[in-house]
Each structure stands twice: as C-alpha cells, then as structure tokens.
Amino acid sequence: MVDKIYQAVVAYNDGSKFSQTIKDCSLSDLPDNDVLIRVHYSSLNYKDALSATGHKGITKQYPFTPGIDAAGVVVYSRSTAFKEGDEVIVTSYDLGMNTPGGFGQYISVPADWIVPLPKNLSLKESMMIGTSGLTAAIGAYKIMNHSFNSDNPNVLITGATGAVGSFSVALLSHLDLHVTAATGKNDQLDFLKTLGASEVINRDKVQNVEEHPLLTGKWSAAIDTVGGEMLAAVIRQIKHNGIVACCGNVLGNQLQTNILPFILRGITLAGIDSGITLMELRTKIWNRLAEDWKPVNLHKLSREISFFDLPDEFQKILDGKQVGKVLINLL
Ligand SMILES: NC(=O)c1ccc[n+]([C@@H]2O[C@H](COP(=O)([O-])OP(=O)(O)OC[C@H]3O[C@@H](n4cnc5c(N)ncnc54)[C@H](OP(=O)(O)O)[C@@H]3O)[C@@H](O)[C@H]2O)c1
C-alpha cells in the first residue's frame, strides 16, 4: 500500500509537562494491523483526556494519538471479514490507549475490534453515541433485563449532564422509564428535561445524606457514572431488589459501603466495562441503538467540533465541565 501523510492530534511529554498539537503523520508509522480505516468521526471521552494529559495507567509511550472511538470507511483490509468501502465503528479494546486512536484521520486495527455500521445509523450518529453511549446502553441493558418488584421502575442517573449520564437520561426516558437526573449544574435543567428526564435534582440531594447503612429506598435502579462517595450513597437509597449499574470513577476508585443494602434489600451492583464487552453483546447493542433504542433526541446530545479544536477540550472534561457529548469531525 502506498504511504500517505495525514493529520492527527498528538500528545507529547517533554519530561515536565504534557501538551497536545495537530501534526502531520505517516501511514507507515501506524501499527501493521489487518484493517486500515479512514476515520470520519470520533468522540471525546474522559479516558481520552487522561491519555492526552499523561494520566498514569492509560498510555505508556508518547508521542501518542488518543481517541478510544472512531467511525469511518475501510481503505485496506487483509481480513476476509471487511473490504474496502465498508462503513465501520471501532470503540474500546486498545484503541486510543496504546494503539494510535480516533483523533487521527487514519487508524490501523485488528479485524476483531470492528463492528460493521448497522443499517439506519450514519457514521456521524454512531459517534454521537460513541463509547459513552454504548456504556449507557450496556447499563440500560442490565436494568431492562433485571427483575424488579414493580412494573414501573424509576431510575436515577448520576453525573447526568456528562456524556454517559446524558445518554443514559435520553435512552431510559426513550424506553418509557421515569428518570431522575442528578446534576451539579443547576443551569442545565432545561437540557436534561429536553432529553426526557421526569425530574432533575441537585446531586447534593443524593450524595450529602445521613450516614445510616440504609436510607429510605427512593429508586428502583440507577446508572452511576461518578463512583466514590456518590456510588456509596446511591447504593443505600435503592429500593428492595433494585440494581445499580456503575461505570465511572470521577470521584475516585474507593468504594466504602456496607453489607445491609445487599443482604436486607437484595440490591445488585452491576459493573460495566464497555472496553471488554463481548463482540456478540456489543453488536447486539449497536444494532438496537440503530433501531428501537435510538433516542429521538440523539442530535441534542452532542456538539460538533473539528479535531483542530480538540486540544482546548481536554481540560474541560477533566474539570467536569462538559455538557453532553463532543462529536469530532475528521473529514
Ligand atoms: N466503565 C466503562 O466502560 C466506562 C465507559 C465510559 C466512561 N466511563 C467512566 O464514566 C465516567 C463518566 O464519563 P463521561 O464520559 O460521562 O464523563 P463526563 O462527560 O466528564 O461526565 C462526568 C460527570 O460527572 C459529574 N461530576 C463531575 N465532577 C463531579 C463531582 N466532583 N462530584 C459529583 N459529580 C461530578 C458531572 O455531571 P453533573 O455536573 O451533571 O453532576 C460530569 O459531567 C468517567 O469516570 C469515565 O472514565 C467508564
């Protein structure tokens, strides 16, 4: 295949600090994997900001191009599973961790990381969903498959204005559940209502509660994107036989809890790791997201930027100041 120059966001470590810039790169610098993809769209995730700013445990070697999400068109394939011109989605696995990611105009990946773009979903829409939407949908899948005491379970979403949180609000409202959105951003009430939230509350009402091992059960289910003290408080406020799907560690990796919600209320704590979700479930969920699980207000969930503007966005997501999803155009 002929070598080619393309552009990518590259994170550098000069020994004392990390910086990010747009650079010319060469296809010959990409790993020699089965499938080469011209990326049309990507999206910004919390993990990307961690990689771009040198957070330990994500990316080992710099210079590096982050981006755990990519949607584009196959330009070369050694795999019989894909051919030139196929529209595809790649999220998770090692993409954007230690394999150059979707913030470059080309990626080279193993065939078994790739999901064919489902019918009824455009490349652009797939990245309005991205890893955060997939994560929310895996949480929704766990909740929808749970046996509740009630026919009308009500659901709490924490970190509701974030990328995972806002998609969770939109999807579970779309699935006709009564959704309470908990947020620290009091000025985003209209946004969350537009996504379908039945109720919007300040996150302090969930988190800053008494220390009792069990509190009044308020919600049948929750998707917690925050972790730490927030998750501990949520677990104590879930109704009998409820479920908490947790994915995030915005407030840290520690969870201090007690056994009573589990043995006196039968609570299920369900972890989500979208990165290693098996291909069978991953494909099934992407196909649902293209059909009956596609939120009607999908276009309200994201704001589009050019990848040239990406370096300004990393600190914002690290500071918890993003609202909804950042869709990245690499065309
Ligand atoms: N396990 C997985 O597969 C998986 C996949 C994707 C993401 N994640 C993780 O899920 C988490 C959320 O990701 P995201 O992409 O949605 O990030 P995000 O867009 O930055 O959203 C995080 C939200 O958390 C809330 N928050 C921020 N600081 C807080 C604080 N001090 N106390 C309480 N809440 C706070 C904010 O929402 P409000 O202002 O509305 O409260 C913020 O918008 C991250 O930890 C990410 O790494 C995990």
Q: Please check whether residues 318 and 248 belong to one and the same domain.
A: no
Q: Please check whether residues 82 and 51 belong to one and the same domain.
A: yes
Supply φ then ψ for residue 274, to 5 degrees. Answer: -65, -25
Q: Is residue 216 part of a domain?
A: yes
Q: Please check whether residues 161 and 214 belong to one and the same domain.
A: yes
DSSP state of 174: H
Query: What's the CA-to-centroid distance between 321 and ligand 1, angstroms?
Result: 10
Ligand 1 binding pocket mutation candidate from 43, 44, 46, 277 (most atoms within 8 A of CB): 46
Q: Please check whether residues 141 and 227 belong to one and the same domain.
A: yes
DSSP state of 317: H
Q: Please check whether residues 259 and 146 belong to one and the same domain.
A: yes
- Write out the residue range of the structural domain in which residue 30 sits: 5-117+301-329
Residue 171 has a pLDDT of 97
3-state secondary structure of 231: helix
Query: What's the CA-to-centroid distance between 165 and ligand 1, angstroms?
Result: 7
Residue 266 has a pLDDT of 97
Q: Is residue 291 part of a domain?
A: no
pLDDT < 50: residue spans in the chain? none
Say if residue 63 is preceded by a cis peptide, omega within 30 of 0. yes
Judged by phi (left if over 0) then psi (alpha if -120 to 50, else beta), residue 311 lies in alpha
Tokens of residue 223, six digits: 């998707």
Q: Please check whether residues 113 and 216 belong to one and the same domain.
A: no
- Considering only CA atoms, which of 305, 310, 315 is closest in space to residue 128? 305
Judged on CB neighbours under 10 Å (0-12, 13-18, 19+), 326 is buried
Tell me which residue has its CA closest to atom 11 in ligand 1: 248
Residue 216 has a pLDDT of 97
What pairing do the DSSP bridges indicate for beta strands 69-77 and 87-91? antiparallel
Q: Please check whether residues 266 and 169 belong to one and the same domain.
A: yes
* Max CA separation in the chain (angstroms): 65
Query: What's the CA-to-centroid distance between 248 and ligand 1, angstroms?
Result: 6
| Residue ranges lining ligand 1, Cβ < 6 Å | 45-47, 131-132, 135, 159-165, 183-185, 203, 225-226, 230, 247-251, 272-275, 317, 320, 322
Q: Please check whether residues 268 and 151 belong to one and the same domain.
A: yes
- Residue 185 is part of a domain; what is its CATH number? 3.40.50.720
Residue 212 has a pLDDT of 96
Domain count, the chain: 2
Query: What's the CA-to-centroid distance between 65 and ligand 1, angstroms?
Result: 22
Q: Please check whether residues 259 and 307 belong to one and the same domain.
A: no
- Residue 24 is part of a domain; what is its CATH number? 3.90.180.10
Q: Please check whether residues 111 and 137 belong to one and the same domain.
A: no
Q: Please check whether residues 231 and 109 belong to one and the same domain.
A: no
Q: What is the pTM of this model?
A: 0.95
**Contact status, residue 37 vs residue 73, Cβ threshold 8 Å:** yes
Query: What's the CA-to-centroid distance between 249 and ligand 1, angstroms?
Result: 7
Tell me which residue has its CA closest to atom 10 in ligand 1: 248
Last residue of a domain, one of 274, 289, 320: 274
Q: How far is CA 128 from CA 45, 183, 291, in A?
A: 11, 21, 15
Q: Is residue 29 part of a domain?
A: yes
Look-up: residue for tokens 């918890």? 320
Q: Please check whether residues 139 and 270 belong to one and the same domain.
A: yes
Ligand 1 binding pocket mutation candidate from 164, 187, 301 (most atoms within 8 A of CB): 164
First vs last Cα of the chain: how many Å apart? 21
Residue 94 has a pLDDT of 95
> What residue type is 84 in one-letter code?
E
pLDDT, tens digit, 9 for 90 and up, residues 86-140 = 999 999 899 999 999 999 999 999 999 999 999 999 999 999 999 999 999 999 9
**Contact status, residue 198 vs residue 189, Cβ threshold 8 Å:** no
